[in-house]
Structure 1
Amino acid sequence: MKTKYFGDITIDEDKIITFPSGLFGFENRTKYALLSFLDDSGESSEDVFMCLQSTEEPDLAFIVMNPYYICADYDPYQIPESLLSEIQLGQETKHTVYCVTVVRDNFDESTINLKCPIIINVENKLAKQFILEESDYSMRYPATKKEV
């Protein structure tokens, strides 16, 4: 497949993540791959910044990051259980959390959207982006500010 940042690469079908209702603003694009910027093969790893690449539209890719690198006490689990069940996520289900990041030329101006996390069910590759409506998390939290 063609990608925004990696050119032409091959992605195994079992690595494709499905967002049944898409991402906010991109509801009609539901298939993505999580790619590493540090690994030439595009294989997913535990890098700080990752690329969430649409498999349906080559120019559609988001830079995401693990929010716990910035905010160790980040708590995105204020989500109603009925919404978590959409991706078959239970209390014991292996999952991961990412947040969309805007990386600026002046890196100190980069931001992370802590208000709208992406939760991926690692077991079935279903994912959903949520809005933490009852939280004070910012949509433009400084990506360079680290709280511990």
Structure 2
Amino acid sequence: MTMTLATKKLGTVTYTQADIIHFPEGLLGFETIKHYLLIKDNYHKLLYFLQAISEPDLCFILVYPCDLFPNYKIESDFSYPYTHHFAIVTHRELEAQTTVNLLGPIIIHKKNQTGWQIISSNNAFSTRHIIDIKNHAKSDQKPLLKLTSSQPLVSSLTP
């Protein structure tokens, strides 16, 4: 059965039950929000969105950390095969920088649609590694979002 979700950041999103990713423990700071959709951004080649289903205003920007940092490795007691690893992106306009949290990665098991946020013990990385998203945009498409100041971790649409 197809469902729709009217989001503040991404507009109307169509999805099925099979698209829902369950986070049994929620995300850090958002422990009560358990169900999300993972949406690929076709403009910024590296970006994904993790849209909360129960909170239309809550949308995290994600990247595959290894696409930006080839030497990135999660060090943790967490071990689960067949997972995808993401990192949360934050844009701070006052600091004119976009950063990625490499110490609190998001782990998604696509086979059973389950996700976790863990804490990596890899001291080589930080919660605010600077990245340049603009270099990874496709010039022939309109951006789905514009990185502007907002609450940390939340994306904003272009007008």
Give the shorter-chain TM-score range. 0.7 to 0.9
- TM-score, normalization by structure 1: 0.78
Unaligned runs of 5+ in 2: 134-159
In the superposition, the TM-score normalised over structure 2's length comes to: 0.73
Q: Alpha-carbon deviation of 1:61?
A: 0.6
Aligned CA RMSD, in angstroms, stands at 2.2
Q: CA deviation at 1:69?
A: 1.5
Identity %: 29
One-letter amino acid of the counterpart of residue 69, structure 2:
C
- Superposed CA deviations along residues 62-120 of structure 1, whole A, max 9, x for unmatched, are 001110121101111x221xx44xxxx2xxx3211100001345996100000110111
Contact 2:73 2:122 (8 Å CA) reproduced: no
Amino acid at match of 1:61: C
Give the partner amino acid of 1:124.
Answer: N
Alignment match, 1:53: 51
Q: How does 1:1-148 map to 2 (within 5 A)?
A: 1-38=5-42, 47-76=45-74, 78-80=75-77, 83-84=78-79, 89=80, 93-105=81-93, 109-144=97-132
Deviations 1:1-26 (A, max 9, x none): 12232212211110111110000000
**Corresponding residue SS for 1:103:** strand
Q: Which runs of 5+ in 1 are unaligned?
A: 40-45
Distance 1:71 1:108 in 2: 21
Aligned residue pairs total: 129
In 2, distance between residues paired with 1:117 and 1:67?
Answer: 9
Measured in 2, the distance between the counterparts of 1:12 and 1:105 equals 35
